[in-house]
Amino acid sequence: MPIPPRPDSTSNPPADTSVITVELGDRAYPIAIKSGETGLADPSGFASHFLDAVGDCTHAIVVQDVAIADSAGSMITQSLKSSPLRLSVIQIASGETSKSTDRIAQLWNEMLDTAADRRSVVIAVGGGVIGDLAGFAAATFTRGLRLVQVPTTLLAMVDSSVGGKTGINLPGGKNLVGSFWQPHMVWIDTDFLSTLPEREYISGLAEVIKYGVIEDADFFEYLEANIAAILQREPEPTRTAIAKSCESKARVVADDERETTGRRAILNYGHTFAHAVESTAGYGVMLHGEAVSIGMQMAAELSVSLGRCDRELLERQTALLAAAGLPLTWEDADVNDMIAVMARDKKVAHGKLRFVLPDRIGNVELVGDVPADEVAAAIRACR
Ligand SMILES: NC(=O)c1ccc[n+]([C@@H]2O[C@H](COP(=O)([O-])OP(=O)(O)OC[C@H]3O[C@@H](n4cnc5c(N)ncnc54)[C@H](O)[C@@H]3O)[C@@H](O)[C@H]2O)c1
Ligand SMILES: [Zn+2]
């Protein structure tokens, strides 16, 4: 049985929910952002949006992080109990180790046990780990089930839940097995952030600030003016920061869904350095956003020293990342080890070092053939 076509679901959002559309032709989908007093106490909001977005379906499989089972997970299942759908819930242990071949194999079998078929829809409730794992399960089980993403970390709300990348890790490296699989809806309830630990929240802010640097100068200015309120998780500026980030990612993904034109590569600003930081520090030592913050500083240093941008850009970025409580330097950075990792990075073209570098706030370019001694100097500048 084929999966039903995507319904037009962006027509009628309630007052406390705004909708951003990811424009991908017949795979377009809404990002619904809900915040407001009703929050966790309003179980009906999700189910009606869900049914609008997925269309004909008989069975929902909630795949959730155990850490949010009693909060976000329970809100989603409560909401669906008011619908005629059959409901299954699968628990996933928290943490990156769940993005494994063992766990995906177990998940496929658990889905089989729920008698999932092509009229089932997978709902991923959790951070990027759950989104990637459950998303890949949706992409692959019976050659593809519909997927709804319900991100519960800031990083997942502004980055991993949007854009359709799903996958798991191999012992030899992160995200090596996966697939592009666009969701039918992303449901963001900013109230879910209330339980997120401070360090995870701040880490997510690195990706938020990234969007300002790479393609939205007005947003960067907004962040400069509102970062203290966002750090306090005040509802309105937090919601704006999430919405602007999703709009930014949606624009980039709509331009280059499958990384074929090079446009999507701008999302990797700071990430070539960050991956080298994460890898040489040992995975798990630093949170991803912390490494991205340091990586963005290294990239901006590199851009200044290559004469591609003025120092003011670096100073503004430094001030904003610092105000967000993110790290700017890493004193243990080992230049040779980091360059060796970068040379192995799958994003390196034909052995030459390539970087996404800013020329002004709001614009970056992909720059190839960067001399290794300039890269080394940029790393040293951030030690
Ligand atoms: N698909 C993509 O485009 C994409 C993009 C960026 C990152 N990723 C992936 O995302 C993953 C990282 O995502 P993450 O940072 O969300 O990590 P995560 O999913 O591990 O969540 C971080 C921690 O927060 C806990 N948690 C989640 N929501 C919570 C809440 N509301 N309250 C309290 N605790 C909560 C989790 O249990 C976990 O311990 C990585 O595997 C990365 O590869 C994917
Ligand atoms: Zn990232």
Distance from the alpha carbon of residue 89 to the mean position of ligand 1, in angstroms:
19
Q: Summarize pLDDT for 24-79 with one digit per residue, the tens.
A: 999 999 999 987 654 454 555 899 899 999 999 999 999 999 999 999 999 999 99
Same domain, 185 and 230: no
Q: Of 239, 275, 308, 354, which residue is the catalytic one?
A: 275
Return the minimum-mean-pLDDT range out of 46-50, 129-133, 134-138, 266-270.
46-50
**Average model confidence (pLDDT) across the chain:** 93
Cα 347 to ligand 2 centroid, rounded to whole Å: 14
Asked whether residue 153 is marked as a ligand-binding residue, the answer is yes
Confidence category of residue 349, pLDDT binned at 50, 70, 90? low
* H or E segment to which residue 30 belongs: strand 29-34
pLDDT digits (tens, 9 = 90+) for 266-286: 999 999 999 999 999 997 899
Note whether residue 1 is domain-resident: no
Q: Which of 20-34, 92-106, 133-147, 341-355 has the lowest mean pLDDT?
A: 341-355
Q: Could you tell me the two tokens for 269?
A: 């600003």
CATH number at residue 38: 3.40.50.1970
- Assess whether 271 carries a catalytic annotation: yes
Q: Is 130 annotated as a binding residue?
A: yes
> Which CATH number is 294's domain given?
1.20.1090.10
- For residues 315 and 334, give the distance between their C-alpha atoms in angstroms, rounded to a whole number: 24
Q: Is 200 in the pocket of ligand 1 (CB under 6 A)?
A: yes
Q: Would you say residue 11 has pLDDT above 80?
A: no
Do 95 and 238 fall into the same domain?
Answer: no
Q: How many angstroms from the chain centroid is the CA of residue 153?
A: 9
Q: Is there a domain that residue 10 lies in? A: no
My answer on whether 136 and 227 are in the same domain is no
- CB-hemisphere CA count at 13 Å for 324? 34
**Residue 43, both tokens:** 């179980």
Ligand 2 centroid–CA 158 distance in Å is 10
Q: Which tokens in the block code for residue 125? A: 């409730």
Same domain, 258 and 334: yes
pLDDT given for residue 3 in this prediction: 77
Q: Would you give the end-to-end CA distance of the chain in angstroms?
A: 57
Determine whether the shortest distance from the Cβ of 147 to ligand 1 is under 6 A: no
Residues 256 and 352 in one domain: yes
Domain that holds residue 271: 198-381
Q: Can 288 be counted among the known catalytic residues?
A: yes
> 344: pLDDT confidence band, cut at 50, 70 and 90?
confident
Q: What is the pLDDT of residue 350?
A: 61
Question: 224 CB less than 6 Å from ligand 1?
Answer: no
Please compute, for residue 323, the number of CA atoms within 13 A of its CA located in the half-sphere on the CB side: 17
- From the CA of 132, the nearest ligand is 1
Per the annotation, does 163 bind a ligand? no
Total structural domains within the chain: 2
At residue 255, does pLDDT exceed 90? yes
What's the confidence (pLDDT) of residue 351?
Answer: 60
368 Cα–ligand 1 center, Å: 31
Last residue of a domain, one of 134, 166, 195: 195
Residue 237 and residue 343 in one domain:
yes
* Closest ligand 1 atom number to CA of residue 135: 1
Nearest to 280 by CA among 336, 199, 348, 321: 336
368 plus 256 within the same structural domain: yes
Tokens at 301, concatenated: 């240093």
Name which of 39-43, 172-176, 267-271, 306-310 the model is least confident about.
39-43
- How many angstroms separate the CA atoms of 12 and 313, rounded? 41
Q: What is the pLDDT of residue 114?
A: 98
Q: Is the pLDDT of residue 362 over 90?
A: yes
Q: Are residues 27 and 141 in the same domain?
A: yes
Helix (H, G, I), strand (E, B) or coil at 168: strand
Question: Which of the listed residues 160, 198, 287 should we mutate to test ligand 1's pocket, taking the one with most ligand atoms within 8 A of CB?
Answer: 160
